[in-house]
Structure formats: C-alpha cells, structure tokens
Structure 1
Amino acid sequence: MTLAFVIAAVATVFGKVFPVIGGPVTGIVTGVVVATVFKPGPRFKPGIKTGSKFLLQVSVVILGTQLSLMQVVRVGVDSLPVMLGTLAVCLVSAYLIGRCLGIVGDLRTLIGVGTGICGASAIAAVTPVIGAAEVAVTYAVSTVFLFNIAAVLTFPMIGHALGMSEHAFGLFAGTAVNDMSSVVAASTTFGPTAANYAVVVKLTRTLLIIPICLGLAALVSRRARHCERVVDGAAEAADPASRIRIHRLVPWFLVGFLVLAAANTAGLVPAASHHALAEVSVFLITVALSAVGLSTDLPGLRRTGPRPLILGAALWVIVTLSSIGLMAVTGVR
C-alpha cells in the first residue's frame, strides 16, 4: 500500500496544480504507467488489494460529511425533476447502448453511474457492490474523465449561447457534469451564483449513490441465488426464509455514508472541518485509484477496444441534451 500512497501523494500535488485533471485521475493513470514499466511483485499485492477496495469504501463514507440532507430540500422543486430525469435517461441509455456495442455488464454499469451521478466517487461506491474488475474501473474512470474535460471547455459556451441565467447554468452544470472539480471549474467560469448553486445540486446528486447501490446489490444477489438454484438443480420456488433481506444488501460503507450525512445535517460535524474532510476523502480516493492502476492489466485494457469510449461519448451527449430538454420542460431559465 506504501507504493499507492506515494503515487497518490504525487498525484495530489499535480492535481492541485492542474485542478481540471485532478488527483484521482492522475493517480490511476500513474498507477497504470508504473505497473507497465515496473510490474509490482507478489509482496505488493496484499497492500494494493487493500488500497483498491477498503480505502475506496472508507473514502465514500467520508464523503457523507460534505452533504446535509436538508440540501435535498433546498435545491428546490425545479432541480429534482432534471436531476432524476437525467439519471434515469443515462442509466437506461447505458444499458441499451452498451448492449448494442457488446460491452460487458460491469463496464457499462460503471460508465453509466460515473456519467449519471458523480464520476470517480460513484464508480468507487459501485465497484465493491458489483465486484467489478480493476481493468473495468480503470477504463470507466478514464472515459468519464475525458468527457469531464470536454464539459469544462464547452458547457460555458453552450450556456451563453442558450442565454441561460446563472441559476439555470448552475442546475445544468450540477446535473450534466459528473465530477465535482469539473462542476466547479465549469460553473465558476459562468459566474459565482452559478458556481454556488451547481455545487449544491452536485452534492445532492451524491445521495443518488445510495438507491443505485441498493438496486445493484439486490440484482447481484438475485443473480447469485438464481445461479445457485440452477447448479443445485432446484427448479422449485425458493424457500421464503431465503428471500432477499434488505439489511443484508446494504454495504457497510453506505450505512457509514448516511450516518455521517445525518450527523452533518444535525450540526455534529464542525463546519471548520468540512474542507479538511473533503481533502481526506479525495486523497483516499486517489490512493485507492492509484492501487487500481497498479493492478491493471494494460493488455487487457487494449483488448477492450474503443467501444467503451463510444459509450461514454454517447452518454455524455445524451445527458447534456436531456438536462437542457428537462430544464426547458420545467421552465428553468
């Protein structure tokens, strides 16, 4: 794990200098390069495994300190239809387009939630739930990052061309850009009011990680149970005692995320500590993604081909257009 921490420290410094790129993306790319040039030996494997899984989960828990549950109410009625609508369109499109392109389920799921919710943070939360392979995580993070950059460069121009107010652009950026650093970069360019509102919308979107992870956990559990029944030759209906229990589906880190979000809502998390906790969370995500990069099979990534990139591009366009369309339908200007 020491190697992942060293890479993450360097990546964090680089991310401060180039905030549009950010530490997490720098970490995973650096990890892939190091793994290609200097393949880590067996003694590195346990630390890399711990970093890529456990620290990823801890980082999601700490993210809860950045969210007040009351913010969901404060974003207003006008934001929720756009927020939920773009997510629904993104996930459905990821499934349909991903299947048409022949992309395996885990990879299209990661690209879908990364584009629809909050980039690397959503990918971090979903990865342990579905048991995604490191190569899928690497490709998903890289794909989502590429279109973050595209959003930062093009969204302010789109907003001005459509005559959006700062409030409207804040909603647009908060729902159609997935990474927080990119949301801030794009909305700050448009104006301070846009930036403040975009951050609130973006933080509220983070809550959507919870129902998505619960749904995916239920789906994974159902498939596993089905496979067991097929293997055992049990064609009869499942025993009621073996039915899915919600409390067994909830990953521990999502419980921790909710607990800290509730504590922050109640004022138990000092406001002065918010920035430091956000930095800790981002650093742990960077460590975890650095570990993912170190365990990535680059030849396997090459074999995946350009199809995931095509899926990412399609989803980026679809989310952008659906956000603008839903804003027009709900009268946000």
Structure 2
Amino acid sequence: MATIPALPAPTYSKAILFTVAALLSLLSSPAISLFAGLSFALLLGNPLPGATKKLSKQLLQYSVIGLGFGMNLHESLASGREGMLFTVISVSLIMLLGWFIGRRLKLSDGTAYLIAAGTAICGGSAIAAVSPLTKSSESEISVALATIFVLNAVALFIFPPLGHYLGLNDQQFGIWAAMAIHDTSSVVGAGAAYSEEALKIATTVKLTRALWIIPLAFVTTLVFRDKTAKIQIPWFIFFFILAMIANTYLAIPAEITGGIVWLSKKALVLTLFLIGAALSREVLGTVGMRPMALGLILWAIIGSASLAAITL
C-alpha cells in the first residue's frame, strides 16, 4: 500500500504557524493583513506557495461575489457609468504608452505589453488573461506579475491616507482607487479602509473596468497574431452582477445579506494576507530596474490623470 510522505518537521511547523497567522489576520484591517502576509513571507518564507496562490484567487472571487449582496443595482450602474468614458480613454492610452515607453527602456514587447495590461485594467488578472495570447515566456510573465504585485501592495497602504489628505469624498475616492490601483483585491481593500460607500463604488467601477479584459484579449490576438490561444473570461464578475440583481429585486432578509457581506469582507482580509505571503524574496528578485521604471511611469500617469478627472 502506498503511503503519503510526511512533511519535514520544520516545514510542518512553519505550515502550522502560517495557518495560525492567516487566521489571526481575520481580526485586522485589509492593509494590516497584507502587511502581515508580506512580513511572514519575507522573514520566514511561505511554506505553502501553491496552495496560497490557488486559495487567494478563489477567495477573492467569492468575496467579490458576496459583496454584491450588499449593493443596489441601480446605484452601482450609476457609479459605473461615471467612470466608463475615462476607462475607455485610459485603457487605450496606457496600452499605447506602455508599448512605446517599454521599447525606449529596451524591454521585450511581451514584458512591456503585460505590464501595461496589468496597469490599464486589473493587475495580475489581466496579465494572466492575455499572457497566453502574447506567447510570453515564463520569465516575462514573472517579471510583469512581480512588478505589478509590488506596486499593487504599495497602493493599498498609501491610497487611503492620500485620499483623506486630498479631501476626496467617498465617491471621488472610490472612482480614483478603481482607476489607479492595479488589482481588484487592493481596490476593494482600499475602498473598505476608506468607507462603506467608497467600497461599493470602488468595487463596481473596478469590475466594470475588468470587463475590458475581453476586448483587450481580442485586440491582443490581432497584435500578436495568435488566433488559436484560448481567451480567459472573468466569469465571477457576472456572478457579482447576479448578486446585485438578487439584492435589488428579491426580498432577501437583511440578516442574510448582511451576513454574506460580513463573511465576504472577512474573506477579503484573508485573501490579502495570502496575496502578501506570495511576495517572496524570489519574486522580488525577478523585478529589475527597467520593468519597475515602466510600472512606476504608467502608474504615475494613470494615477494623476484619474485624480485630475475626478477633481477638476
């Protein structure tokens, strides 16, 4: 009879400690949870990298769907429309600038395109969606993901204080966070840290923006001339919309929808711990000066342009 090999004692002990730290993160805020995950990974290493990556992706999707049960469809559509025009312009502009500046920095077309996609739409999700279409190498994908991940982690810490310093109201901050922060996880985390209203607006606008993965994927197949690659559609966004419809039109008791939203926020906090734990020394080592320079330039452009659009 085959036996299951036991984990080495140090790895087993670290896995237990990692699990305890993850559960304790549920008592903290999104930013603190992300910082705790980062600290654990950098100081002790992540003993469960494969499970962490898979679970964080699933938890993020479930938590976003659950948040839909706390939103009104009509209000969310109104919020989404406000950012639609800027989304169309900014996505196109960032993709073009990313390609142009990337070439000036002597980056490969694949790396520059993936960093631009991650900045323009929704971070790692956009990179994962278009990377098969660009025929990018593993190293190009790793560099792009690491670059976007580092900036995304920084955004969760600095955006809420910046929003308060600039005197942004809930609606302004929600739109700004959705436009200028890369990944959905940090957008939702930053919105939650700012206010309940900012959370609703940030989530809706970001997911509306994330739908641009689909047209971008079709454009990518034309740019890189690969019509055989499979396009990944973010289906969880449609379930988020269904949750909003159910909350708007069905007589679901407030105790039930409130409980779902509460669990979803806790799932988001745990998700951010797991995402932070994915930032290992190895990941940081893949980020070079030129990819980071491109990421910072594009981030500065989208951040300042979106801030000007909502405040002027």
2:33 to 20, 23, 31: 23
User: Identity of counterpart residues, as a percentage?
Assistant: 15
Q: Aligned residue for 2:265?
A: 278
Structure 2 residue 306 is matched with structure 1 residue 326: no
Output the amino acid matched with 2:235: V
Matched with 1:152 is: 160
Q: For the residues of structure 2 that align with 1:25 and 1:116, how far apart are their CA atoms?
A: 25
Partner amino acid, structure 2, of 1:262: L
Q: How does 1:2-21 map to 2 (within 5 A)?
A: 6-7=17-18, 10=21, 13=24, 17=28, 19=29, 21=31
In structure 1, how many angstroms separate the alpha carbons of the residues matched to 2:81 and 2:218? 29
> What does residue 142 of structure 1 align with?
150
Contact kept in structure 1, 2:26 and 2:266, CA below 8 Å: no
Contact map agreement 2:87 2:179 (CA 8 A) in 1:
yes
Gaps of 5+ in 1: 189-194, 227-242
The corresponding residue for 2:289 is: 306
Q: 2:299 aligns with which of 302, 316, 325?
A: 316
Q: Tell me by how many angstroms 1:318 deviates.
A: 0.9
* Contact 2:99-2:112 at 8 Å conserved across structures: yes
What is the Cα deviation at residue 134 of structure 1?
A: 4.8
Q: Deviations over 1:285-315 (max 9, x none)?
A: 543553x445x635xx436432233223322
Structure 1 stretch 306-315 or stretch 98-107: which is displaced more? 98-107
Map Cα deviations across residues 23-75 of structure 1 (whole Å, 9 max, x no partner).
3454245324434xxxx8xxx7xx633442x3244234312332366554221
The one-letter code sitting in structure 2 at the alignment partner of 1:21 is A
Residues in 2 aligned to 1:208 and 1:99: alpha-carbon distance in whole angstroms: 26
Q: 1:266 aligns with which of 246, 264, 272?
A: 246
**What's the TM-score, normalizing by structure 1?**
0.63
Residue 65 (1) aligns with residue 69 (2): no
Q: What does 1:173-192 align with in structure 2 at a 5 Å threshold?
A: 173-178=177-182, 179=186, 180-185=188-193, 187-188=194-195
Whether the aligned pair in 2 keeps the contact of 1:176 and 1:320 (CA below 8 Å) is yes
Distance 1:92 1:16 in 2: 42
Aligned counterpart in structure 2 of residue 99 of structure 1, from 95, 98, 103? 103
Asked if residue 250 in structure 1 is aligned to residue 240 in structure 2, the reply is no
Give the conservation status (yes or no) of the 8 Å contact 1:184–1:198: yes
Aligned to 1:82: 86
- Rounded to whole Å, the distance in 2 between the matches of 1:4 and 1:203 is 36
> CA contact under 8 A between 2:107 and 2:290: conserved in structure 1?
yes
Distance in 2 (CA, whole Å) between partners of 1:57 and 1:85 is 28
- Partner SS, residue 75 of structure 1: helix
The one-letter amino acid paired with 1:66 is L
Counterparts of 1:25 and 1:106, CA distance in 2: 30
Q: Are the structure 2 counterparts of residues 73 and 104 from structure 1 closer, same or farther at C-alpha, using a change threshold of 3 Å? A: same
- Would the aligned equivalents of 2:30 and 2:272 in 1 still touch at CA under 8 Å? no
User: 1:170-220: per-residue Cα shift (whole Å, max 9, x none)?
Assistant: 5444433453333444x55xxxxxx62564144321232233156348736
CA gap 1:25/1:216 in 2 versus in 1, 3 angstroms: farther
Aligned to 1:297: 282
- Structure 1 residues 206 and 112: alpha-carbon distance in aligned structure 2, compared to 1, 3 A threshold: farther
**8 Å Cα contact 1:8/1:23 also seen in 2:** no
CA distance 1:150–1:201, shift in 2 (3 Å): closer
Report the Cα distance in structure 1 between the residues aligned to 2:175 and 2:223, rounded to whole angstroms: 36
Q: Within the alignment, does 1:203 sit opposite 2:210 as a pair?
A: no
Aligned partners of 1:32, 1:105: CA distance in 2, in Å? 31
Work out the CA distance in 2 between the residues paired with 1:8 and 1:209.
31
Q: Partners in 2 of 1:93 and 1:12 — Cα distance?
A: 42
Q: Secondary structure at the match of 2:31?
A: coil
How far does residue 142 in structure 1 lie from its aligned partner after superposition?
1.3
